[in-house]
Structure 1
Amino acid sequence: MSSTREPAKIEVRTAEPGDAGCACNVLRRSIAQLCEKDHRNDSAILTTWLANKTPETVRGWIESGKNCSLVAVIDNQVAGIAILTRQGKIVLFYVAPEMCQAGAGNALLQAIEHRAGEWGLRSLQVDSTLTAQQFYLRHGFTLNRTTTSAFGTEAYSLSKPLAPTGYPQKKPCRCGG
């Protein structure tokens, strides 16, 4: 008789300042262990990429009212973190290496799309790593162009139109700038 493991229950919620240490740990391990295709184990690239990934910096990102910071939690452990700007740009999206394929990334992306809909956004944008590019393509994003990240790695600018949600749409900016 084979025993099948019940899928982990994933909770996605707004990140809290107390999540900063765990979220920072997820970020650093994800970059170091999962993004090898991007940093190619080049210590200079890795050092630059990880330089601002400190608990204090992550706490500042979480506390910023300018963005939506979300965490995926599995078994009371932070399994992933994502940050969405009010302009619809995903500026941070990482999952713990041991949680890959557990659904945390899918759940985070669904929550981001829901929040974007609440904000009346019509599309999402992301500058993706090579490592994450296929994830975004599988979820309906389209490749716009190739660029270079601040860390010196190749990045992929992708976007995804969002379906109308019934939430009020943002009024267009008439600032002339």
Structure 2
Amino acid sequence: MSTTSRLTFRVRAVVPEDATAICDLLRESIADCCKADHHDDPVVVARWLANKTVENVKQWIAAPDSVALVALRGDDMLGVALLSGQDLALCYVAPRALFQGVGKALLRSIEKEASALGVETMTLDSTKTALPFYSRNGFLTCGPVRKWAGLEAQPMSKRLSANGPSTTLPG
């Protein structure tokens, strides 16, 4: 269990019954927390949310090369992280849980899972909103910004050790 001065929560593996709550959390986080990326443009938001459906979430968490974790306070879902192979495909926190250690706990837990699976380098595409978070947590940029559907994504990577996160790879 992780504890901060304002919030106590636990991180656990996702179960199929979490799909609806995960979908809701993704949609809420993108709409409320990622304004630096979508600038409240309804077309951009709609494109970003288009694949955030319960059926897609079920497929993502059931994929054989995926590891999915959620952070919970009681039954309240505060965050979700999804590793797909070596790629961190999702790491989102509910607006009410920002800056309370939820994202960091999810990231550390997913890095530990990745290391245990033999992943040597974790990669991700960061939003503008999340770039400072990933930078603070040891990820380095590793390529040019990619553009998609009115959004920008910064490729990043982090070298993991057999015992968990360690050093980063230069870009």
Matches within 5 A, 1:137-156: 137-156=135-154
Amino acid at match of 1:144: C
The alignment covers a number of residue pairs equal to 161
Distance change (3 Å), C-alpha of 1:151 and 1:16? farther
Residue by residue over 1:5-32, the C-alpha shift from the partner in whole angstroms, topping out at 9 and shown as x without a partner, is 9442221111111111111111001100
Distance change (3 Å), C-alpha of 1:75 and 1:102? farther
Structure 2 unaligned spans of 5+: 165-171
Distance change (3 Å), C-alpha of 1:149 and 1:160? same
- Determine if contact 1:146/1:154 at 8 Å carries over to the other structure: no
What's 2:72 paired with?
73
**1:28 equivalent in alignment to 2:19:** no
**1:106 equivalent in alignment to 2:124:** no
Q: Distance in 2 between matches of 1:62 and 1:126?
A: 17
TM-score normalized by the length of structure 1: 0.85
Q: Distance in 1 between matches of 2:90 and 2:104?
A: 14
What's 1:173 paired with?
none
Matches within 5 A, 1:34-73: 34-73=33-72
Q: Distance in 1 between matches of 2:140 and 2:63?
A: 29
Report the Cα offset of residue 149 of structure 1.
Answer: 4.3
Q: Distance in 2 between matches of 1:53 and 1:12?
A: 22
Structure of larger gyration radius: 1
Secondary structure in 2 matching 1:145 = coil
- Determine if contact 1:10/1:103 at 8 Å carries over to the other structure: no
Residue by residue over 1:34-84, the C-alpha shift from the partner in whole angstroms, topping out at 9 and shown as x without a partner, is 100101111111111001111222122122222111111123211111110
Secondary structure in 2 matching 1:31 = helix
What's 1:157 paired with?
155
Secondary structure in 2 matching 1:131 = coil
Secondary structure in 2 matching 1:52 = coil
TM-score normalized by the length of structure 2: 0.88
Report the Cα offset of residue 140 of structure 1.
Answer: 0.6
Structure 1 unaligned spans of 5+: 167-177
Q: Distance in 2 between matches of 1:24 and 1:149?
A: 23
**RMSD of Structure 2 on Structure 1 (CA):** 1.7
- Determine if contact 1:10/1:107 at 8 Å carries over to the other structure: no
Structure 1 stretches of at least 4 aligned residues deviating more than 3 Å after TM superposition: none
Secondary structure in 2 matching 1:140 = coil
Indicate which of 120, 124, 127 corresponds to 2:125: 127
- Determine if contact 1:9/1:75 at 8 Å carries over to the other structure: no
